[in-house]
Amino acid sequence: MMPRSRLLAKLDAAIASAGHPIEARCLRAERAGLLARQGQLEASRAAIDELTAQLAWAPNPTLRAWLALAEGLHGYYSALGRAAQEHIEQAWRLARDSSAMPRLHALAAAWLANMAFANDDMPRMAALVREALDTAAPEHHAARARAALVAGYAYHFAAAGARAQPWYEASRRHAIAEGDETQLSALMHNQAWMRASQARLALLFDTTDADCSFEHGLAASPAAADAVAQALMGAESIGHYDAGIGTASLGSLVPMLRAQVLTAQGRWPEALALFESHFEAARGDGLERLLPCLLADRAWCEWQVGQTRKARALVAAAEQALQQHCDTDDRAMAQARLAQVCSALGNGGTAQRQREAAERDHLLHLEQQRRIAALLDQALKGVDPAAV
């Protein structure tokens, strides 16, 4: 039996005690958004459809705004897709243009900041984080938790871990105050993904000794080995926590994270077992932008266990996937991995081209990190995360 969510219980109580039908419907729309975040997509869809039908015969701008947010969250947690953004944009515009919906305004701004980061629109991300924090009242815990989380992982992505940590703590504090276990799960997910990504980058782009890494089967530096081990522990902790609270959304994320970290540790059969079991689900969950990395890592594992033919096919698939949109850091890591596989397969010329492309994208990523940190510093000037 699924554990009872504290936030869900709080929403149910508020719905039961609502003094007006519109207030109850808005709370039910908020509840539908929570169900989507928990992975209860069918229940969320049913609630959204019922409320949409009620809205058709009794129009109300506040309900329309809350329903737009719920619709957007349902779309986002169905497949991490960008199509969900238009609904959250609608919620944000409706709430922003009304003085009666500051909580929704702040919450929608925080979610749009989340999506701006995913869409590589960093100036808008930074501006929306500040807008959410400026708009949210002290008791608007959901908006503050999400905005602080975006600030935290954006700083983390920018390799500014010391600046990220206070924002992570602010997000945790507000998630606990809200009783939102799903937000705490999101916090764990983002921290684990960032740690794993940075550990893998360090191994693939070791500036002191390019051959000193798990990927070559040699001993990595103690710091690199510890970073990868910590990343694996984080990934495993997420799985245990999500199982404990009953979260079922985007179930392939943790297995794919573990597969990538296990690849970095040289645990090829374990990584392959996860790739084989969860790869297709990952595509359905919206991880298309990670395909080059996943395919390249899988190719490396197949080569390591003697499956040369499979490795060659996966290299070709990864090269094809690189023709689509891919974040700069993921592109750099995929190309670096492909350089290793191609070298192992005896394709020296291709390996050299992939390594050169990887180095170029790695430099672009380093510049992007500097830019993001500067944008956040400017947008959040004068804001103390401990007081958020």
pLDDT of residue 82: 61
DSSP, res 136: S
Sort 366 into a burial class: Cβ within 10 Å, 0-12 / 13-18 / 19+: middle
- The better pLDDT of the pair 288, 239 is held by 288
Q: Among 173-187, 207-221, 249-263, whose mean pLDDT is lowest? A: 207-221
Coil, strand or helix: which one is 168? helix
pLDDT digits (tens, 9 = 90+) for 88-131: 999 999 999 998 999 999 999 999 999 999 999 999 999 999 99
Q: How many CA atoms lie within 13 A of 121 on its CB side?
A: 12
| pLDDT per residue as tens digits for the range 6-19 | 999 999 999 999 99
pLDDT reading at 369 higher than 50: yes
Tokens 């995360």 -> residue: 385
Q: Are 40 and 213 in contact (CB under 8 A)?
A: no
Between 206 and 364, where is the model more confident?
Answer: 364
Q: Is it the case that residue 220 has pLDDT exceeding 60?
A: no
Longest dimension (CA), the chain: 73
Write out the E strands in the chain: none
> Measured between alpha carbons, how far is 192 from 230 in angstroms, rounded to an integer?
9
Cβ-based neighbours of 1, under 8 Å, separated by 6 or more? none
For residue 281, is pLDDT > 90?
no
Q: 286-324: per-residue pLDDT in tens?
A: 778 899 999 999 999 999 999 999 999 999 999 999 999
DSSP 291-352: HHHHHHHHHHHHHHTT-HHHHHHHHHHHHHHTTS---HHHHHHHHHHHHHHHHHTT-HHHHH
Distance of CA 353 to the CA centre of its chain: 30
27 within 8 A of 15, measured Cβ to Cβ = yes
Which pTM was predicted?
A: 0.92
pLDDT at 69 over 80: yes
Whether pLDDT at 218 is above 60: no
Architecture of the domain delimited by 193-346: Alpha Horseshoe (1.25)
Note the pLDDT of residue 246: 56
CA distances from 242 to 63, 235, 250 (A): 30, 11, 11
Task: Look up residue 83 and give its amino acid.
Answer: A
pLDDT band at 248 (very low <50, low <70, confident <90, very high): low
Q: Is the pLDDT of residue 223 over 80?
A: no
